Amino acid sequence: MKKVTGIGGVFFKCEHPKEMNEWYAKNLGIAVTDYGATFEWRDTEDPSKKGSTSWSTFPQGTTYFKPSVKPFMINYRVDNIVALVEELKKEGVTIIDEISEYVYGKFVHILDPEGNIVELWEPAGISDQNQDIP
């Protein structure tokens, strides 16, 4: 079973998210919205498949990364989140919450051995990922 298929996103805390977004937009040309930025790409093995990687700033006081106390969280793309969570449970990995499902995919949070929160994301169906990228 292929577990992680890529980086789904990078999220980090900062004192002034709005100003950080403006700095990244101005100095690095990242097209930032209120929710961060999305980098679209195509799968190298099957260029008809579309994917994306998110980048987002969070306010310093966010509780979204809890129980981790680290100022960052990495989201990994996975193929089959249900099967992977079952494997992780068997291995004794700490699963923080239940799998949540949204229109853009399924999510679950786990902890690594040093207490870093890890977000796993199974993107929504193939039809959602095959939209044209210019």
82-95 pLDDT per residue, tens: 999 999 999 999 99
Tell whether the model's pLDDT for residue 125 goes beyond 90: no
Is the Cβ–Cβ distance between 79 and 4 less than 8 Å? no
User: Which pTM does this prediction carry?
Assistant: 0.85
Q: Catalogue all structural domains in the chain, each as residue range(s) with its CATH number.
A: 4-129 (3.10.180.10)
Alpha helices in the chain, H assignment, sequence order: 17-28, 81-90, 126-129
Q: What percent of the chain is modeled with pLDDT above 90? A: 80
Residues with Cβ within 8 Å of residue 63, at least 6 apart in sequence:
none
pLDDT at 1: 67
pLDDT at 10: 97
113: preceding bond cis by omega (within 30 degrees): no
CA gap 129, 112 in Å, rounded: 29
22-51 pLDDT per residue, tens: 999 999 999 999 889 999 999 888 899 888
Tell me the CB-side half-sphere exposure of residue 52, using CA atoms within 13 A: 18
Tell whether the model's pLDDT for residue 20 goes beyond 70: yes
